[in-house]
A and B are shown apart, each in its own frame.
Chain A
């Protein structure tokens, strides 16, 4: 480890000490099924994002995925794509998102994970980005357009700053599953269905088979996302995985109710969490 990197880490730890220490991602799966909630930062404003995160935390969410909006979110369906457009129209920037995360981290220990695309991270500067993640209390990152083969772009820097790079496994991963799972840290994001994000009435993938392939090579917890919206779906998924990820259904509530979403989000998260038995 070079000296600049060391100095950065020491500095980060000093700042960290002034905040609430974030819980580790793995802890949320220790004795329960985890409910993971996604929202897009800056939709409809960063102040509201802060309020929504704290509200969902209080309502029982175990981890919050915070989307850094991107102009061209190619893995997203229309609901989250529109949220990205709203956030960018509201002039949401990566710097302002880090500030918002710092305010959240001053109030809660809940693990926070970014979801964004490779370009916003790369152009911000990989070292600068992950250093800011550590300083502000981000635990992990999900980058849909960064496959296993290209992880070298960020992995060592993210690890040096104690940020888990979350592994995505898809229904089409097949012979790649064990290669992907072997290196996974934090949790494994198991994509339930083909296609982009969005609410689905039915999930047809044979998740049990994929889960069993993963379990054969790793203890890393598995959370399932893409298409899950109802408590019934959550109950079914929780029977075979360690956690459930909900994005579009939450973003749809925010799209519909805007600044007044808080009570609806609280009610929704409570119901979903209660379904994970």
Chain B
């Protein structure tokens, strides 16, 4: 029987060699998610180590400048290691510990998930190996060194398009090679069941906090929640507890690269079609024969040809909307937030800021937008300088 379905999406399309490992994770997660001691331990880690709850900050200058809805920023960029990735990683690492695993492996795109995994491994005493595409180790060199500094071994992936998708392939291959003592810390709400559900649960702390925070500050719910989407973990985290609130628009911002009418983008909902890949049925950028398309974005974290199955379902049911944001728009938003609020967002998160800049002026002043600032932009500064034609090196 097929498990982990979101409408027609999801499932467990994974090689037989990994099935028992995946079932083991599924059983362990089913047990520990209802275990108060596990949840207490995780909450303590999230609060005392990662710095939760993250702030919900009223962006006063941005709001005034755009002249429409009130904009609040959910500050996942202030978490330890600089992004929302730590929420999921602490959950999975703790679970791996309970399962008796001694080694963590993970893929990474921008390097944020790799850094978070290496951090949790250092904290909890795991061996750690990270797989990262060569194109990404080049554009995110600082994060490669951070992972090494934390004691992880970084494998440079030179197969395929040498980006996030290929890093995922290589991590799956590594897991089939050594499965007994190893847990694969998947970084997004993708892959075979139980990963999309488990990662969503660990990330849903974002919307749990944001919903309480906005009700406390404003006494009402926001009109819209905006987040960037690659695989979709920060977005599902930011959306999840608002899904039953039908009056709240949920908006995911996909990477449109040079534009959705060019070949150089990673906009899965805008240009993808139904497929089965990386363990799940969902939407993918692909050709008529089901070959996965090379995708492109300035943002290594959004440079992925698929989207998590729950997002695909939220799109099908029209509960969430997905909009494409180009490199140019994201870079403009990156600079705008830096100058207007003194907050340098990750280039991934800048895709969400960019859409808030479009949407806010069209809304009434008594309406509220929450933008998830999924990560901070320190890692992107050199790449943005190069994008602007300034040749600085890290």
Interface residues of A (CB under 8 A from B): 70-72, 74-75, 77-78, 81, 85, 88, 93-95, 117-124, 144-150, 152-153, 168-176, 180, 191, 194-196
Contact = CB atoms under 8 A, between A and B. Distances in A.
B2 A149 contact: yes
Contacts of A146: 13
A161 B99 CA distance: 44
B15 A144 contact: yes
B394 interface: no
A1 B172 CA distance: 39
Give the contact-size bracket for chain B. Answer: 35 or more
A72 B275 contact: no
B21 A172 contact: yes
Contacts of A88: 291
B181 to A, nearest CB: 12
B252 to A, nearest CB: 23
Contact of B275 (A122, A150, A173, A196): A122
Contacts of B261: none
A74 B169 contact: yes
A23 B12 CA distance: 34
B34 to A, nearest CB: 23
Given A72-B165, A119-B277, A194-B176, A150 B291 contact: no
B1 interface: yes
B96 to A, nearest CB: 17
A120 B138 CA distance: 31
Nearest to A149: B12
B280 to A, nearest CB: 10
A94 B286 CA distance: 14
Nearest to A144: B15
A71 B276 CA distance: 13
Interface string B254-275: 0000000000000000000111
Contacts of B11: 150
Contact of A81 (B159, B275, B291): B159
Contact of A119 (B19, B165, B275): B275
Interface in B152-174: 159-160, 165-166, 169, 172-173
A259 B20 CA distance: 41
A94 B160 CA distance: 20
List of 10 A-B pairs having minimum Cβ-Cβ separation, nearest first: A123-B290, A195-B177, A170-B17, A119-B290, A120-B290, A118-B276, A71-B291, A71-B292, A170-B16, A168-B16
Contacts of B169: 72, 74
7 contacts: A75-B17, A75-B173, A119-B292, A122-B281, A123-B274, A145-B279, A149-B3
Nearest to A191: B17
Contact of A147 (B14, B159, B165, B176): B14
B59 to A, nearest CB: 40
Contacts of A81: 159
Contacts of A78: 159
A224 to B, nearest CB: 14
Interface string B2-38: 1100000001111111111100000000000000000
Contacts of B177: 194-196
Given A72-B166, A149-B2, A168-B15, 5 more contacts: A70-B290, A120-B291, A124-B289, A148-B16, A169-B16
Contact of A120 (B12, B160, B273, B289): B289
A196 B289 contact: no
A65 B15 CA distance: 18
A121 B13 contact: no
B179 interface: yes
Contact of A93 (B18, B19, B20, B289): B289
B291 A70 contact: yes
B159 A149 contact: no
A72 B277 contact: yes
B178 interface: yes
B366 interface: no
Given A119-B286, A194-B177, A196-B176, A74 B15 contact: yes
Contacts of A191: 16-17
Contacts of B286: 119, 123
A63 B317 CA distance: 46
Nearest to A152: B2
A123 B275 contact: yes
B246 interface: no
A72 B292 contact: yes
A195 B2 contact: no
A192 to B, nearest CB: 11
B65 interface: no
B288 interface: yes
B341 to A, nearest CB: 40
A191 B290 CA distance: 26
B173 to A, nearest CB: 5
Contact of A195 (B159, B176, B275, B276): B176
Contacts of B284: 119
Contacts of A119: 275-277, 284, 286, 290, 292
- Tell me which of A75, A174, A176 has the highest count of chain B C-beta atoms within 10 A of its own C-beta: A75
A71 B13 contact: no
Nearest to B159: A81
A95 B287 CA distance: 13
B89 to A, nearest CB: 23
A174 B20 contact: yes
B289 A150 contact: no
A123 B286 CA distance: 9
B273 A145 contact: no
Contacts of A123: 273-275, 286, 288-290
Contacts of B12: 147, 149-150
